[in-house]
Structure 1
Amino acid sequence: MQAEHKPLCNLDSGREIVRVQIIHLALAAWGLSSWILFNGLWGQLPMFVRTLPEGNKLGVLILTAEQLAYIFPLLFMYKKRHSSNSRLSQEIDIWILLASGLVVSLLLPRYWQAQVPIQGVPHSAGLLVLAFFTGAVCSSTGVVFTPYLATLPKSYTSTHTAGAGLSGLAIALLTLVADAGSLHPRLSPGHYFNLLSLVLLVGMAAFGFVSRRVHASVQEEREEARDAEPAAGVEEAHGQGQYGTLADRSLEETEERPDGDRRPLIAPGVDSGDPRDPPTDPSSLPSASPPPSSLPSVRDSHVAVFGLQCLLSALAYGVVPSTLPMACTGYQNPSRVLLLANGGFMCADPLGKLATSFLPTGRIFMSGAATICLAALLLYCAFSGSAPPLALRPYGGVLVVVANTLFSFMFSFTSISIFFDRRRQEEAARARKAGRIGGDGGDAAYQWFAWSAFMVQTGAFLGTGLSLAGVLLWS
């Protein structure tokens, strides 16, 4: 009989593996759709510069329009302080955000060329307005998606973030295929944005699948809990527990007195009511201060962690990308160096996020310090003039390529490590005090993850402002 059931067991195991792989694929597709519109807009920048009246100023105008949309994450954070943080509420917010991105992508092919004359001078009002709403959608993904992802297993979160990182690489490949900016591109902007709409539609379907699987898992857990209740009731009725009957435990939890009597153990500081016991001295009670291991550390400090996130985001989303062309000018064939450096950055971003699945993620400040050192090296190459390190070597530009690639890897790895480290702390707190996360502490945990994503957007905003000011002053 056992031999007959073995193939069925293997079949069930195989189905479970396939089911998990499908969930990972859906999470990657959902993550890919989160930033595909933002990166896709920049992928068509050569075409915009060539055809629209603003010309070379269009990049700064698009960046400004996207950063003005930073107000939307602020409004969302204010809204969540006065509304429910339930899973259903989080899913509704995600659906609204995904639908908004799809609407913007459907409007881009029709209105990106729309111009409005201001004082007799035409301006690309259609593109800039749509860039504003693109920034609103993409800058809000962090504060909307992160709390929901915090409820999923660690491997699922890594897959989603890796999918989000692949959006830059996907746009780079699509831009090369489309030959954007040339006189005869292989893909027109209309067809290009229609492909992005298709990716967003697939992302919505993928999130629907993930949400359905999450609800199914919750329902299974509830059914298992209901099945366990009758057994627990029978065990309690018979006086049985993990350590035997109540009578057995009462005999075990006793101590012998000097006069030969035996009485149950009483917790320190509790009056037993026995006149033979000495009165309780309050000064002899143990101190209520926490043990040294539970004292707050630097890693537990919200200010330190949020400050690290803000600094790294400012470097990754503003300072380093804006100064990278300057870092390549001192080497032979700078255009080739810049192309390879950008390619390495895009490839290393998803790899850094995937690495959190199998590498230790506890030392966030050490990995953060390494990321800052790599950024400092790139800035030194950018502002050292015509004599950056290894400039006289034939392959000296490899230094910038490797540094930028490692910077991208370490930034992605550190960002996701901060997320996992905080979730481990919340799980440990839940183990020490049952119901903290699911009960009164649920709002606090949600607020931490939402504010964490908010600080990432704050760093990106500050980094963009600093980079714009620095480039203008340098020029």
Structure 2
Amino acid sequence: MGLLIHSLVCLLGTGSWVAVNGIWVELPLMVPSVPEGWLLPSCLTIIIQLANVGPLAITLAHRFQPGRLGEVGIIYAILCLGLLACLLLAAFWRETSVVGGSPRSTALLSLLFFLALVDCTSSVTFLPYMRRLRPRYLTTYFIGEGLSGLLPGLMALGQGAGTFRCAQNASQGGNSTGPGQAQYEEGRFSVTAFFSFLGGMMALSLTAFVLLNHLPTAKRARAKKEPHCAGGNAGAAKGKGVAPDERPTSWASLSGSFRSGTYSCSQVAYIFGLLSWVNALTNGILPAIQSYSCLPYGNLAYHLSATLAALANPLACFLGMFLPNRSLVLMGLLSLAGTLLACYIMAMAVLSPCPLLRNGPLGAILIVVCWVLFIGILSYVKLMIGIILRDEGHSALVWCGAVVQLGSMVGALAMFPLVSIYNLFRSGDPCGTTCSD
């Protein structure tokens, strides 16, 4: 029975970001068929940030109307919306309409907004819901969240998304000159089939959520209600007639929203600061430059870094089941290590298309290892912070989701002008680039 609940929780976790992650890995096959071309990734970045209106609204509702907004109804709504959007994408993603005299992918962009709204809102609803279940299931949820990136990546890898051939440049005499240009090939199955797969994943997540709410076995796996008497803060709140999980959560009194009362305001700020920083790195800053950091070392290095880094996320969460550690000092040191790895990755992206050690296997090995360790280490940090906040009450988990989205948004918005407007980074040609040594 425990295995069944773990499986259902894992499936619920996969529904958190599977749609947006799937869109990202499918871009090489979508771009040739839409009028936006390679502007589509930039459009997707902006759409995701606009979709943060969802978690913002829910966080404000929890702040000003505590206890009025239940996660269960919202989760049902967003999972149904995600499933419907995926099915509509499968049917209409190539449809265009004329806007301002030019064809635009209005159906695609509109549906992408709804998918982003689903995934962004999951950050502030799924985690608070997990507090209804026993603590051991939270790690399983994070494993599922990691699989939400791995499974679409593996499907896209099997599809052949991003596979290309090097077309040689022909001179006037008919002889090939230069290293050639990469021409992306069609996938083994269609984009429509891929979106149908995403819809199937959303359907599985929705089914798992229904079972978690109605199976008798799942009801027995729910957490026992704890008395509101832990710590002086809880007692103070009770004296004012306010439940501990419903007390105001401004930064000045944020530590008061923690049930145990074991963390000072500065420690709370430290925890949320780490959470914001690691999510800015993993969800906003580094994904924007992954191709720049990896493609100069070849297409194999790029695909290995993307696939193995996605695998590192659930593996780090699985490791956290057996080696949990809530030390704030250790989390700080691990965050520093992840930041140093991010600095190396960023440096290689800045040096693209001619990064260090590009002419031998050592450079490719280093960039792949750095990506895997970077994602693995910071995934462990996020898991440990999630475990800490899970024990601190509903309000702490709502703030957890909000800070995750805030950090991701700040990171993405900071990188957008550098990548798309000022063109600070230059793409490496996987078919070969001439660099002056």
TM range (shorter): 0.7 to 0.9
Instruction: Work out the CA distance in 1 between the residues paired with 2:404 and 2:220.
Output: 31
Higher mean C-alpha deviation, range 47-56 or range 384-393: 384-393
Q: Paired residue for 1:240?
A: none
Instruction: Confirm whether residue 420 of structure 1 aligns to residue 390 of structure 2.
Output: no
Higher mean C-alpha deviation, range 464-473 or range 452-461: 464-473
Alignment counterpart, residue 117 of structure 2, candidates 136, 144, 152: 136
TM-score, scaled relative to structure 2? 0.77
Provide Cα deviations, 1:14-56, integer angstroms capped at 9, x if missing partner.
xxxxx11111111111111222211122232122211111111
Instruction: Work out the CA distance in 2 between the residues paired with 1:221 and 1:61.
Output: 45
Q: Paired residue for 1:235?
A: none
Instruction: Confirm whether residue 462 of structure 1 aligns to residue 429 of structure 2.
Output: no
Instruction: Confirm whether residue 69 of structure 1 aligns to residue 51 of structure 2.
Output: yes
TM-score, scaled relative to structure 1? 0.71
Specify which structure has the bigger relative contact order, considering alpha-carbon pairs within 8 angstroms and separated by 6 or more residues.
2
Q: Paired residue for 1:41?
A: 23
- The alpha-carbon distance between structure 1 residues 347 and 101, as it changes in their structure 2 partners (threshold 3 A), is same
> Is the CA contact 1:361–1:420 (under 8 Å) kept in the aligned structure 2?
no
Structure 1, unpaired ranges of 5+ = 1-18, 223-293, 427-444
Letter matched to residue 125 of structure 1: T
- The alpha-carbon distance between structure 1 residues 306 and 221, as it changes in their structure 2 partners (threshold 3 A), is closer
Provide Cα deviations, 1:202-260, integer angstroms capped at 9, x if missing partner.
111111222235763289979xxxxxxxxxxxxxxxxxxxxxxxxxxxxxxxxxxxxxx
Cα drift, residue 152 of structure 1:
2.4
- The alpha-carbon distance between structure 1 residues 324 and 189, as it changes in their structure 2 partners (threshold 3 A), is closer
- The alpha-carbon distance between structure 1 residues 85 and 145, as it changes in their structure 2 partners (threshold 3 A), is farther
Instruction: Confirm whether residue 217 of structure 1 aligns to residue 220 of structure 2.
Output: yes
Q: Paired residue for 1:359?
A: 323
Q: Secondary structure at the match of 1:44?
A: helix
Alignment counterpart, residue 78 of structure 1, candidates 46, 60, 71: 60
Letter matched to residue 323 of structure 1: I
Higher mean C-alpha deviation, range 140-149 or range 180-189: 180-189
> Is the CA contact 1:180–1:187 (under 8 Å) kept in the aligned structure 2?
no
Instruction: Work out the CA distance in 1 between the residues paired with 2:363 and 2:188.
Output: 35
What is the root-mean-square deviation in Å for CA atoms of aligned residues? 2.6
Q: Paired residue for 2:139?
A: 158
Write out aligned runs for 1:108-147 (5 A).
108-147=89-128
> Is the CA contact 2:292–2:353 (under 8 Å) kept in the aligned structure 1?
no
Q: Secondary structure at the match of 2:72?
A: helix
Write out aligned runs for 1:362-377 (5 A).
362-363=326-327, 364-377=331-344
- The alpha-carbon distance between structure 1 residues 393 and 24, as it changes in their structure 2 partners (threshold 3 A), is same
Instruction: Confirm whether residue 446 of structure 1 aligns to residue 394 of structure 2.
Output: yes
Q: Paired residue for 1:202?
A: 204
> Is the CA contact 2:389–2:400 (under 8 Å) kept in the aligned structure 1?
no
Provide Cα deviations, 1:118-162, integer angstroms capped at 9, x if missing partner.
232101111111111111000111101111113323331111111
Q: Percent identity?
A: 28
Instruction: Work out the CA distance in 2 between the residues paired with 1:396 and 1:221.
Output: 52
> Is the CA contact 1:327–1:382 (under 8 Å) kept in the aligned structure 2?
yes
Instruction: Confirm whether residue 60 of structure 1 aligns to residue 42 of structure 2.
Output: yes
The structure having more radius of gyration, on CA atoms, is 1
Higher mean C-alpha deviation, range 191-200 or range 141-150: 191-200
Structure 2, unpaired ranges of 5+ = 163-183, 226-260, 426-437
Instruction: Work out the CA distance in 2 between the residues paired with 1:394 and 1:407.
Output: 20
Cα drift, residue 392 of structure 1:
5.6
Alignment counterpart, residue 340 of structure 1, candidates 277, 281, 304: 304
